[in-house]
Amino acid sequence: MAKVKIDGRMAPGEWAGARHITQFRDVQPLTGKPGSLPTEAWVLSTPKGLAVAFRVTQPPGVTRTHQRTRRDEEAQVDRVNVMIDFDGDGRTGYDFTVALSGSVIDEVITNESSFNKDWDGDWKHAVSEDAQGWTVEMLIPWYIAPMRRATNGQRTIGLYLDRVIGSTGERMAWPTASFTRARFLSDFHKVTLPSYRQSLLAVTPYVSAVHDQVHGGNQFKTGADIFWKPNGQTQLTATVNPDFGQVESDDLVVNFGAEETFFSDKRPFFTENQGLFDFGLLIDNSQLIYTRRVGGPADDGSGPADIAGALKLNGSIGDTHYGVLSAQESGAAGRTFDALRVSHHFQTQTVGALLTRVDHPFLDRDATVLGVDHVWQPNAAWTVTSNVVGDTIRQRGATTHGSGATSVIQYEMNPRWTQQWLVMHFGKSLDINDFGYLPRNNLNYVHWEVRRRFTDLPASSVYASHEWRWRIINMTNDQGLTLQRQFRIISNNERRDGGSDFLQLNLDAPGHDDLLTRGHHVLRTRANANLYAERSLPRHGAWAWDLSASVSGNDLTGLGRIGYEVEVLPTYFFTDSLSITPGVSYTYQPNWLIWQRDNLVGSFDGRTLELDAALNWNVSERQELRVRLQALGLDARMRQAYQVGADMRAHATTQPVEDFSLRNLGFQIRYRYQLAPLSNLYIVYGRGGYALEPLLTSTGTQFRQSFNLRDSEQFLIKLAYRFEL
C-alpha cells in the first residue's frame, strides 16, 4: 500500500488501490442529474485512518470563493464534505468539511439530518489549487469516534461525499442523498473497507487566569481533560477541575415569557462523543440531556456552580451501543448528574433507552427520568420515529410522576411529494428539566404536513428550485382547551446565484394562552396571522447581505393592531480574511402582554433597537481575532392593565402597572492562536451589563446608554495544550 501524505497534492501512485468515485449528481437542486462540473474522489482505508481525496474541476470561467472563515462558520463558499457513519446503521454520522480557503467545519449528525457544530475533532486536511481546479486531501483517524468491532478484518461504513460551488449554490453528491429529505443518514452508500485498530491516550491540561476589572481581584484555575480510546469499541473522556467559562459569548436575549431560553453548549467535554446521548423529544430544542444544566445556576442562588469533575464512557458490543455520563458539582449545594444510555440496532429498527438522575442535596430533591426511543424504517419510503418518557420526582417527602410520548411518521411518496404526521403528548406533571430541556408540559399536539419540491425549472429562471410546505396544526392542553389551531405555508427557494428566499405565513384561529399568568386563569386569544420573509444574498464583490422582516397581529386584538420587525445584516469584506458585519434590527410590538403578578398583566407598546456587530479577522488557519458587540435598547409604554378572569377574558383594571425601559450590552474581543490540533491559547476581554428601569425613556436613549453599562468586565487568558501519549 502506498503511503498517503496529506499535503493537498496527489502524487502519482499515492492513491493506488483507493476506491475511485466519479458519479456525482445534483442534490441541490435535487434533480439527480450529473453535476455541471466534473468531480472525482478517492477513498482509502489506511492504518492511520480513513483517507479521502477530491479532485474538483473549476476552470477559470467559474468564479472561485477564497473567503476564509472561523472553524464551524457557515458561508457560501467552494467546499467539499465527507460524511461518515462509522457503523453503517444510520444512527450517528460525522461531517468533515474543507473549503477552498482551507477553512474547516466538523459536525455530528443524528436523527437522520440533525447537524450539531458544537463538536470539534482532531483530523488532518490540506488544499492546493491550479488553473483548472483544486485538490483536497483528508485523513480522519479511526479514534475520532467510537465504532463497533470489525468482522473478519473488514468494516462496513456509510459514506456520503459532496462538492458545493459557492458562486451558484449547486451541490453535487455521491450517493444521491439529501438532508432536505426525510431520510439522509440511512441513505449513505455502504462501503466495506479493511479495518485497522488505532488507540489513543490524550491529556489536555489547562491553566486560566481571570482579572475582574469591576470588583477587583484575580482568579487562577488549573485542570485537565483526559481522552482514552484503548480500541475501536471503547472511549473514555474525563475532566478534572474543569474550566467551563465560556470563551464563546451567548447572544443577548430579552425574555419576559413563561418559556425558558435555550442556549447551545461549546464546552469540549460535553461535545466529545455526545451524539449517543442525543434523545430529542421532536419539538424545538427539547431533549432529555441539556448539558448547560451542569455548571448552571446553583441551587443556593450563589451564582454559577463549580464542577469538581465529570466522566463519560462510550462503547459498543456488537450492535448494542452504550454510554455512561456522570458529573459532580462542588460545595454543599453541588448537584450530581448521572445518565445511562443503551441503543440496539436491528435490520430495520433501532431501539434505545436513556436513564437520567439528578440529586439536589440543597433542595432535598432527586429527579429520575426514563426515556425509550424507537426508529422503524420498513422500506425506503417510510420512517417512523417514536419515544416514550416518564419521570419520578421526590422532594421533601413528596413524590410526583409524569409521562409523555411523541411519534412522527414520514412518508416520501416520490422525489417530489412527502407527507408527515406528528403526534405529541406531554402530561401536566411531566418534568424533565432537572437535566433536560422542555419548554412546556401539559401539551397535546398534532400536525399534518404535505411537502412539494420543484426542481425542473427552466434555465432562464433565477431560481434553481422551490420547496413548498403546507401544514395543519392543532394543539390543546390536558384540560381540553385549544391552545392553537393553525394553517402554515412555507416556501423555501434556492437561487442560481447561491442565494435563497424563505417565506412563512401562519394563520391562527382563536385559541387560548395557558402560560401567560403562570397558572392564574387562562386568556382567550384572538384570530391572528404572522408573515415572515428572509432573503440571503451571498457575497458579490465586497458585500454580502441577509435581510428579514415580519409582520403580525397580537393575542389581545388580533389583526386590529399590527407589529413588525426588520433586520438588516450586511457584511463588508475588506479582504477574504477580514470582514465586518454591522447588523441592525428594529421591532415594534403593539399590545405586548407581559405578566406582572397573579392574574395581572400589562399591555405595552414595545419598541426595540438592537445592534449585532462583529469584526472577524481570520489571520490564518491558526489565528483568528473576533470582536463581537451587541447593544440593545427597549422601551415599553403601558397602554392598559388587565386582570385575566375566570371567563378567560382580559378585564381592564386601574391597578398600577408602570412603563419600563431596558438596556443590555455584550462586548467581547477574543483572540485565538492554535498551537497544535485541539490546543489553543485564548486571550479574551469581555464587558457586559443589564439595566431594567421602571420609567419610560425612548428606545434611542436606552440604546445609546447601553454602551455605558459595566456590570461585568473581565480579562481572561487561557492556555490548553493536548498531549498525545
**DSSP letter at 261?**
P
Residue 128: inside a domain: yes
Please check whether residues 241 and 120 belong to one and the same domain: no
- Using pLDDT thresholds of 50, 70 and 90, give the confidence band for residue 272: confident
Report how far residue 528's alpha carbon sits from residue 536's, in angstroms, rounded to the nearest whole number: 27
Among 407, 439, 471, the domain-final residue is: 439
Q: Domain for residue 530, yes or no?
A: no
| 229-238, 384-393, 650-659: least confident range | 229-238
Last residue of a domain, one of 404, 422, 439: 439
Q: Which three cell numbers stand for residue 315?
A: 462503547
Is the pLDDT assigned to residue 710 strictly greater than 70?
A: yes
Average pLDDT over residues 64-83: 94
- Rounded average pLDDT over 249-254: 82
Radius of gyration of the chain (CA): 26
Beta strand 200-212 pairing with 49-57: unpaired
Q: 334 by DSSP, 3-state: which? A: coil
For residue 612, pLDDT over 70 is answered with yes
269-273, 507-511, 615-619: segment of lowest average pLDDT? 269-273
Look at the chain and count its residues.
725
pLDDT of res. 182: 87
What pTM value is reported for the model? 0.92
Mean pLDDT over residues 562-581, rounded?
97
Q: Does some domain include residue 69? A: yes
HEC readout, 542-591: CEEEEEEEEEEEECCCEEEEEEEEEEEEEEEECCCCEEEEEEEEEEEEEE
Measured between alpha carbons, how far is 717 from 712 in angstroms, rounded to an integer?
16
Q: Which of 285, 284, 333, 283 is nearest to 308 (CA)?
A: 333
Residue 314 has pLDDT above 70, yes or no: yes
What's the pLDDT at 264?
A: 85
Is residue 323 located within the same domain as residue 429? yes
The answer, yes or no, to whether residue 671 has pLDDT greater than 70, is: yes
pLDDT of residue 529 exceeding 90, the answer is yes
pLDDT at residue 27, rounded to an integer: 96
Concatenated DSSP letters of 27-90: EES---PBPSS-EEEEEEEETTEEEEEEEEE--TTS--------TT---S--EEEEEEETTSSS
CATH number, position 128: 2.60.40.1190
Q: What pLDDT, on the 0 to 100 scale, is given for residue 269? A: 84
Give Cα 242 distance to the centre of its chain.
23
Q: To the nearest whole percent, how much of the chain has pLDDT over 90?
A: 88
Is the same domain home to 164 and 288? no
Reported as a single tens digit per residue, the pLDDT across 118-157 is: 889 999 999 999 999 999 999 999 999 888 888 899 999 9
Q: What is the largest CA-CA distance in the chain?
A: 85
pLDDT confidence bin for 247, thresholds 50/70/90: low
Helices (DSSP H) in 674-715: which residue ranges?
699-706
Same domain, 273 and 152: no
Check residue 245 and give its pLDDT: 57
Question: Would residue 85 count as lying in a domain?
Answer: yes
Mean pLDDT of 690-711: 94
- Asked if residue 175 has a cis previous peptide bond (ω within 30° of 0), the answer is yes
- Model confidence at 252, pLDDT cuts 50, 70, 90, reads confident
What pLDDT, in 10s, does the model give residues 343-402? 999 889 999 999 999 999 999 999 999 999 999 999 999 999 999 999 999 999 999 999
CB of 354 within 8 A of CB of 277?
Answer: yes
Residues 272 and 421 reside in one and the same domain: yes
Closest by CA position to 497, among listed 178, 165, 61, 180:
165
From the list 133, 131, 117, 142, the residue with the least C-alpha distance to 53 is 133
- The answer on 73 and 168 residing in a single domain is yes
The pLDDT assigned to 274 comes to 86
The average pLDDT across 695-710 equals 94
User: What's the pLDDT at 531?
Assistant: 98
For residues 110 and 26, state if they share a domain: yes
C-alpha–C-alpha distance, residues 316 and 19, integer Å: 28
3-state secondary structure of 389: strand
Q: Is residue 301 part of a domain?
A: yes
Contact in structure between 453 and 467 (CB atoms under 8 Å): yes
Q: What is the mean pLDDT of residues 262-273?
A: 84
CA distances from 136 to 108, 125, 681 (A): 21, 7, 28
- In this prediction, residue 2 carries a pLDDT of 62
- DSSP for 613-625 reads EEEEE--SSSEEE
| Burial class of residue 656, CB neighbours in 10 A (0-12, 13-18, 19+) | exposed
Instruction: State yes or no: pLDDT of 80 exceeds 60.
Output: yes
Average pLDDT over residues 545-558: 97
Give residue-wise pLDDT tens across range 579-605: 999 999 999 999 999 999 999 999 999
Whole-angstrom distance, CA of residue 355 vs CA of residue 335:
17
Residue 724 to residues 168, 201, 204, 212, 270, Cα–Cα distance (Å): 42, 6, 9, 34, 20
Residue 121 lies in a domain: yes
Q: Which domain holds residue 171?
A: 19-198
For residue 694, is the peptide bond before it cis, meaning its omega torsion is within 30 degrees of 0? no
Over the stretch 21-62, which tens digit does the pLDDT of each residue have? 999 999 999 999 999 999 999 999 999 999 999 999 999 999
DSSP 305: P
Can you tell me the mean pLDDT for 328-339?
96
pLDDT of 676 strictly over 90: yes
Residue 664 located in a structural domain: yes
Nearest Cα to 147, choosing from 286, 311, 276, 291?
276
Instruction: Tally the domains of the chain.
Output: 3
Same structural domain, 154 and 265? no
Residues 228 and 161 reside in one and the same domain: no
Q: Which residues contact 447 (CB under 8 A, 6 or more apart)?
A: 420, 421, 422, 471, 472, 473, 474
List helix spans (H) across 396-535: none
pLDDT given for residue 284 in this prediction: 83
| Residue 525: predicted pLDDT | 97
Residue 525 lies in a domain: no
Same domain? 236 vs 188: no
CA distances from 131 to 59, 99, 128, 135, 138 (A): 6, 17, 11, 11, 22
Domain C-terminal end among 397, 422, 439:
439
- Mean of the per-residue pLDDT values of the chain: 94
Average pLDDT estimate for 403-423: 96
Euclidean distance between CA atoms 388 and 591, whole angstroms = 39
* 128 and 274 belong to one structural domain: no
Cβ burial, residue 462 (10 Å; 0-12/13-18/19+): exposed
- Asked whether residue 194 falls in the same domain as residue 226, the answer is no
- Does the pLDDT value for residue 454 go beyond 60? yes
Report the candidate in 216, 185, 83, 81 with the shortest Cα–Cα distance to residue 144: 83
Cα separation of 357 and 355, whole Å? Answer: 7
More confident residue, 247 or 372: 372
pLDDT of residue 248 exceeding 80, the answer is: no
Across residues 418-424, what is the average pLDDT?
97
